[in-house]
A and B are shown apart, each in its own frame.
Chain A
Amino acid sequence: AQTVTQSQPEMSVQEAETVTLSCTYDTSESDYYLFWYKQPPSRQMILVIRQEAYKQQNATENRFSVNFQKAAKSFSLKISDSQLGDAAMYFCAYRAPSANSKLTFGKGITLSVRP
């Protein structure tokens, strides 16, 4: 069974600085998808970034980028120029390649941003 591990329960970053959130996973599949979701205090889950395992290039979305290390099964999220609105709970998630597969979530990490 696939597992997703987020070992840091909380992190803090100074506004305008850069922070990296860690995530590791375990799977026997060679093709799969990885995601980072953000859940602000409103509790609405928001897709931050998506990575296909077959792509070597790391995904980027504006201030958000990932460091995808397939051999190490590591998928970290880097937030550059942190903003107060980035404060939220962040979840790393894995999905198998078959259509309509479920997501396997990590436990999440609470990110606080200091003004």
Chain B
Amino acid sequence: GAVVSQHPSRVICKSGTSVKIECRSLDFQATTMFWYRQFPKQSLMLMATSNEGSKATYEQGVEKDKFLINHASLTLSTLTVTSAHPEDSSFYICSATAYLAGGTGETQYFGPGTRLLVL
């Protein structure tokens, strides 16, 4: 299978500070990664599509200056929450697109998520 990791798994920070979350594809290369935000008992909300070597594509309503995305290599994308505030507290999940052997085609695999708490 395809494995995606995220770091850190949990972070607590003070209001006004910036937090960086890393998303790595461990056993495959991913030209495209996705960043989601999820509130308890709710569905995943896509924030942006991260493309290796180019600018991210943000969904409507997502502040690109607040949620900085960098996809510098085929195995790493980062999400930086700048000047975090309590309302940014949430669960952030990344996914990466993998093409697996056996003709299963293109499938998104998810990282374990990062729980962000802004005090």
Q: Which residues of A contact B (CB under 8 A)?
A: 33, 35, 37, 42-47, 50, 52, 89, 91, 95, 99-100, 102-103, 105-108, 110
User: Which A residue sits closest to B38, measured CB to CB?
Assistant: A43
Min CB gap A37→B, angstroms: 8
Which residue on B lies nearest to A43, using beta carbons?
Answer: B113
Interface bracket on B: 20 to 34
13 chain-A/chain-B pairs, Cβ below 8 angstroms = A33-B106, A43-B93, A45-B110, A46-B110, A50-B104, A50-B107, A89-B41, A100-B31, A100-B32, A100-B106, A102-B46, A106-B43, A107-B43
Contacts of B42 in A (CB 8 A): 107-108
B107 CB contacts on chain A under 8 angstroms: 35, 47, 50
* B interface residues (Cβ-Cβ under 8 A, vs A): 31-32, 34, 38, 41-44, 46, 49, 51, 91, 93, 95, 97, 104-110, 112-113
Which residues of A have CB within 8 Å of B46? 102-103
- Given A44-B110, A52-B105, CB of A105 within 8 Å of CB of B43: yes
| Bound form: Cα–Cα A105–B106 in Å | 17
A45-B93, A45-B95, A100-B32 in contact; A91/B43 too (CB < 8 A)? Answer: yes
On chain A, the residues within 8 Å of B110 by CB distance are: 37, 44-46
Separation of A99 and B113 alpha carbons in the complex (Å):
24
Min CB distance B24 to A, Å, is 15
Which B residues are in CB contact (< 8 Å) with A89?
A: 41
Contact (A108, B108) CB under 8 Å given A43-B91, A100-B31 = no
Give the chain A neighbours of B49 by CB distance below 8 A: 100, 102
| Chain B residues within an 8 Å CB radius of A47 | 107-109
A residues in contact with B43, CB < 8 Å: 91, 105-108
